C-alpha cells in the first residue's frame, strides 16, 4: 500500500526541502556504513561545527584509556579501554574493550551497558554464560559486534 498517494486525496500534506546530510539507516548494513562514514576524514557529516554544535547525552564515565595504538579513521567512545592494537575505520562504543595485539578493520563494536570485574567475567565463563562484549581477538572486514555478543579469543570474523 502506498501511503502518500492515498494521503494526498484525504489530507493536507506539506513538504520540506532538505539539502543537507541524510542517511537512511533502516537496515543493519546501512546503519553500519553510516556509522563508519562518521569516522572518515573528512566525514560527510561534521559533528564539530562551532556554529551548530551537536552534544551527546551526559556520560558519567571515565575518559577512554588508550595504549600504544595505531588508530586510523576511528571513533572511541567514553569509558573504552584500548590495549596495544591497530584499529582502522571503526567505532568503539561505550565501555568497549579492545585487547592487546588486536587488529580491527571496518568494525563497529557497540560497547556495553556496564563494566564487569575480572572475577565476574571468570564466574560467568565458568557457568557457560557470556560476559559483557569484549574484543580480545583479531577482526577483519565489516564486523558488527553488538551488545552482549561474545567474541572469543583468536576469533577471525569476515563478511
pLDDT score at 113: 82
Residue 123 has pLDDT above 70, yes or no: yes
Range from 21-25, 98-102, 148-152 carrying the lowest mean pLDDT: 148-152
The reported pTM is 0.71
Spatial CA neighbour of 96 closest among 147, 35, 58: 147
Residue 46 has pLDDT above 60, yes or no: yes
Distance CA 157, CA 135 (A): 12
Spatial CA neighbour of 134 closest among 32, 43, 126, 125: 125
Domain boundaries, the chain: 65-157
Distance CA 55, CA 39 (A): 17
Distance CA 120, CA 9 (A): 60
pLDDT band at 133 (very low <50, low <70, confident <90, very high): low
The CATH class of 65-157 is mainly beta
Q: Which of the listed ranges 61-65, 97-101, 126-130 does the model predict with the highest average pLDDT?
A: 61-65
Residue 66 has pLDDT above 50, yes or no: yes
Amino acid at each position: 500500500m502506498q501511503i502518500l498517494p492515498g494521503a494526498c486525496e484525504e489530507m493536507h500534506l506539506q513538504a520540506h526541502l532538505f539539502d543537507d546530510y541524510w542517511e537512511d539507516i533502516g537496515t543493519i548494513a546501512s546503519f553500519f556504513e553510516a556509522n563508519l562514514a562518521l569516522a572518515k576524514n573528512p566525514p560527510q557529516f561534521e559533528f564539530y561545527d562551532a556554529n551548530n554544535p551537536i552534544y551527546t547525552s551526559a556520560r558519567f564515565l571515565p575518559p577512554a584509556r588508550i595504549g600504544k595504538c595505531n588508530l586510523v579513521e576511528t571513533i572511541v567512545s567514553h569509558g573504552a579501554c584500548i590495549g596495544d592494537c591497530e584499529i582502522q575505520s571503526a567505532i568503539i562504543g561505550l565501555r568497549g574493550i579492545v585487547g592487546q595485539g588486536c587488529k580491527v578493520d571496518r568494525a563497529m563494536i557497540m560497547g556495553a551497558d556496564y563494566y564487569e570485574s575480572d572475577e565476574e567475567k571468570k564466574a560467568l565463563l565458568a557457568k557457560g554464560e557470556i560476559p559483557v562484549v569484549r574484543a580480545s581477538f583479531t577482526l577483519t572486514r565489516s564486523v558488527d559486534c553488538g551488545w552482549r555478543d561474545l567474541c572469543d579469543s583468536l576469533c577471525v570474523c569476515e563478511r
